Amino acid sequence: MAFLDGAPPERLCKPMVDHFTARGGEVKMDARVRDIVLNDDGSVKHFRLTNGEIVEGDLYMSAVPAPLLLFPPPSYVSMMPYISLRTRGPVDILKLLVPDQWKPMPYFSQLNELEGVPVINIHIWFDRKLTTVDHLLFSRSPLLSVYADMSTTCKEYADNDKSMLELVFAPAKEWIGRSDEDIIAATMKELERLFPTEIRADQSLAKIRKSKVVKTPLSVYESRSGREAFRPSQRSPIRNFYMAGDFTKQKYLASMEGAIFSGKLAAEKIVDDFNMKGKGAPFSASSSRSPELVAASGLLAMAALGAGAAGFGLM
């Protein structure tokens, strides 16, 4: 099983940014979209940022990594006190950004059928090396869906003497509002059941050196029966607007792999639509616009890099 040899921002995102900027692109950080301004025909005219800046591109793509929900289902109302700006899913972002003119379209309205669910990630550093866990494992536990000993599987956390378990605590709807202490206690009870020779809930065996609980109240969409029909194509009915994300139509369920694959599919559709396979150049080589990629609330504005090419990236 392959893991990144460090934190994703440095080992995954930065190389992509470097690749893009080396070819004339620009990545704007901390640039939040206030609204999507439309042309008379309903296509995207530009993005308006919260600082008043206008961002124009030939193409625009949403790369929000979860289901687009224009209106949150009632079940989320009780979770709202726990939702911070940093942990909001697209259910909150897109409902504010999707223009009213688009909302009645079947392509966008069907997304109300995709409901995001809360997920909790847990990191536990133990005082000893656990010998039972040496791989990424799916769990038979009703609370812990998948886990790995990062001291064995990830170079950044490599340690021959002490383990660091990273676990996905899901389904988490009943736990998202609980304290970190309650969540860690429940996790230890499950780990005792899974690894009775090495872990006890009372820490009489392996002891916790430190722990971290990361809550995402609105995360991946719920893969329940019938939801596949509502996953949208990467090509929207808006001529210059595309979507990527693990919720879009691709062969995987909600996952990092699905998110990346959706980006590839979105790029292919852009190439096909704008005849960039030697069949013609959609953009003018004399265009005065600077090439840029804007990462703002998960939305990417795509601008011309020159005749026959478009800036593309994932953040």
Q: What is the pLDDT of residues 25-69, one digit of tens each?
A: 888 887 777 888 999 999 999 988 888 999 898 889 887 644 433
- Among 160, 187, 216, the domain-final residue is 216
Note whether 92 and 227 are same-domain residues. yes
Note whether 22 and 59 are same-domain residues. yes
Note the pLDDT of residue 77. Answer: 41
Low-confidence ranges of the chain (pLDDT < 50): 65-92, 277-299, 303-315
Note whether 194 and 278 are same-domain residues. no
User: Phi, psi at residue 291, to the nearest 5°?
Assistant: -70, 135
Note whether 167 and 49 are same-domain residues. no
Contact between residue 241 and residue 249 where contact means Cβ atoms under 8 Å apart: no
pLDDT digits (tens, 9 = 90+) for 67-87: 433 443 344 444 444 444 344
Residue 182: inside a domain = yes
Residue 2: inside a domain = no
- Among 216, 239, 274, the domain-final residue is 216
Note the pLDDT of residue 297. Answer: 39
Note whether 126 and 110 are same-domain residues. no
Residue 257: inside a domain = yes
Buried (b) or exposed (e) across 78-110, using 16+ Cβ within 10 A?
A: ebeeebeeebbbbbbbbeebbeeebeeeeebee
Provide the token pair at 111: 């997304």
- Among 216, 236, 259, the domain-final residue is 216
Structural domain for 126, as ranges: 119-216
Helix or strand holding residue 309 (H, E)? strand 309-310
Note whether 110 and 56 are same-domain residues. yes
pTM beyond 0.85: no
Residue 104: inside a domain = yes
150: CATH? 3.90.660.20
Number of domains in the chain: 2
51: CATH? 3.50.50
Note the pLDDT of residue 260. Answer: 87
Note the pLDDT of residue 185. Answer: 98
CA distance 111 to 28: 28
User: Phi, psi at residue 111, to the nearest 5°?
Assistant: -70, -15
Note whether 28 and 125 are same-domain residues. no
Residue 128: inside a domain = yes
Note whether 176 and 303 are same-domain residues. no
Note whether 89 and 236 are same-domain residues. yes
Residue 255: inside a domain = yes
User: Phi, psi at residue 189, to the nearest 5°?
Assistant: -65, -40
Note the pLDDT of residue 275. Answer: 65
Residue 225: inside a domain = yes
Q: What type of residue is 12?
A: L
Note whether 192 and 225 are same-domain residues. no
DSSP letters for 49-67: ETTS-EE--SEEEE--SS-
Note the pLDDT of residue 179. Answer: 97
Contact between residue 139 and residue 92 where contact means Cβ atoms under 8 Å apart: no
Residue 125, classed as helix, strand or coil, is strand
Note whether 37 and 22 are same-domain residues. yes
Residue 108: inside a domain = yes
Note whether 22 and 76 are same-domain residues. yes
